[in-house]
Amino acid sequence: MLNEQLTARIQAGIDEADNMLRLWQQNEPFIRMMGRRFAGPGKAELEDLMQEGYLALCEAVRHYDMEQEVPFISYAAFWIKQGMKRYIENCCGTVRIPTHARDWVRRYRKMTAEYCKYYGSEPGDDTLCALLQISREKLQAVRKSADMEKICSLSEPLGQVDGGLDMEETIASGEDLEEDAVRRLDYQNMKSMLWEAVDGLEEKQAEVIRCRFQDQKTIRETGEAIGITKDAAAHQQYNALRLLGQPSRCRRYRGYYEEYLAASCYHHVGLETFNRTWTSEVEREALR
């Protein structure tokens, strides 16, 4: 079956779990090929990138518009590439560099390389400021970000002076009692809103969600507990999560997702575990 046909069936709610698994298996070689581009020392493990690729594939299915007459794999490639790049930026560096700072570092390095190639020497500060259209203060900040990106260990010395500071000695303590208190309060509020939304689902859907995310049961165990098949449980879960994600339902807790989940990095589960549990770490983190 073509990707587009499988996507149409998933969007129509026809055997979503089975068709999603088939779509994944059908496109796994392509996603693996993309993952190999980003995998490697200092980047990411291929298995983590494959998990990220699956999540991106789900997003592509959700947003794909058949009427645009664009091949699904071409559309999905954008989501997969962006998902893998964002995962590396958020999770794989020794020192976390904000995305906008990474963008400036890329511009800075590209401009420097092109200048060296054309003129045979590195550009001066004034030249770089003119080419990048930034101030000297901004240029120094970009260079600092570029140096931070190169760090492989927090024990590396800063600069060339003997007896200087290590990077780890310049990092402030991670303890922030005020922020921790606010975060705990936000999580309590988000959890309350989410489970209130779960109570508004159909009885069978709510029962499946509670078995999965409160009792931590697998799909098979959930089906056995409520007297339905594994596929039926997966179907109920998919429909429940889709309903919980509808704008009319999730408007109240959308802000919590954007603040704490969308930009966070998660401990990825293997693909074998995903096939067994039929849930992503994002869904599990939101409902736990």
| Mean pLDDT of the region 73-92 | 83
23 and 85 co-located in one domain: yes
Structure tokens at 34: 């993309």
**Domain for residue 167, yes or no?**
no
**Domain for residue 255, yes or no?**
yes
What does pLDDT average to over the chain? 76
136-150 and 125-132 are packed helices; what angle lies between their axes, rounded to 10 degrees? 100
> Which residues neighbour 89 within 8 Å (Cβ) at sequence distance 6 or greater?
97, 99, 102
Q: Positive or negative CA dihedral for 147, 151, 154, 157?
A: negative
32 and 75 co-located in one domain: yes
266 pLDDT band, cuts 50/70/90, is very low
Q: What is the pLDDT of residue 276?
A: 46
Q: For 170-207, give one letter per residue: b (16+ CB within 10 A) or e.
A: eeeeeeeeeeeeeeeeeeeebeeebbebbeebeeebbb
List phi, psi (to 5°) of 268: -75, 145
Q: What is the pLDDT of residue 168?
A: 47
- H/E stretch holding 87: helix 72-91
Highest-confidence range of 91-95, 141-145, 275-279, by mean pLDDT? 141-145
| Mean pLDDT of the region 91-104 | 64
| Mean pLDDT of the region 179-183 | 59
- CA dist 59 and 80 (Å) reads 9
**Domain for residue 224, yes or no?**
yes
118 and 79 co-located in one domain: no
CA distances 137 to 125, 134, 142, 167, 273, Å, are 11, 8, 9, 22, 48
Amino acid (one-letter) located at 3: N
82 and 56 co-located in one domain: yes
20 and 60 co-located in one domain: yes
Total domains present in the chain? 3
56 and 21 co-located in one domain: yes
80 and 144 co-located in one domain: no
203 and 283 co-located in one domain: yes
Q: Which is more confident, 94 or 79?
A: 79
201 and 221 co-located in one domain: yes
**Domain for residue 125, yes or no?**
yes
**Domain for residue 166, yes or no?**
no
**If you ran DSSP here, which 8-state letter would residue 259 be given?**
I
Is the per-residue pLDDT at 4 higher than 90?
A: yes
Is the per-residue pLDDT at 215 higher than 60?
A: yes
24 and 107 co-located in one domain: no
How confident is the model over 137-161, as pLDDT tens digits? Answer: 999 988 887 777 665 444 445 554 4
**Segments forming the whole domain that contains residue 83:** 3-91
**If you ran DSSP here, which 8-state letter would residue 120 be given?**
S
Q: Which residue, 201, 181, 285, 190, is CA-closest to 246?
A: 201
**Domain for residue 250, yes or no?**
yes
Q: Report the Cα 45 to chain-centroid distance in Å.
A: 14
280 and 215 co-located in one domain: yes
Instruction: Write the Ramachandran bin of 120: left for phi over 0, alpha for psi from -120 to 50, otherwise beta.
Output: left
**Domain for residue 80, yes or no?**
yes
CATH code for position 57:
1.20.120.1810
Is the per-residue pLDDT at 26 higher than 90?
A: yes
| Mean pLDDT of the region 20-31 | 93
82 and 125 co-located in one domain: no
CA distances 113 to 116, 122, 144, Å, are 5, 8, 18
Q: What is the pLDDT of residue 213?
A: 87
**Domain for residue 83, yes or no?**
yes
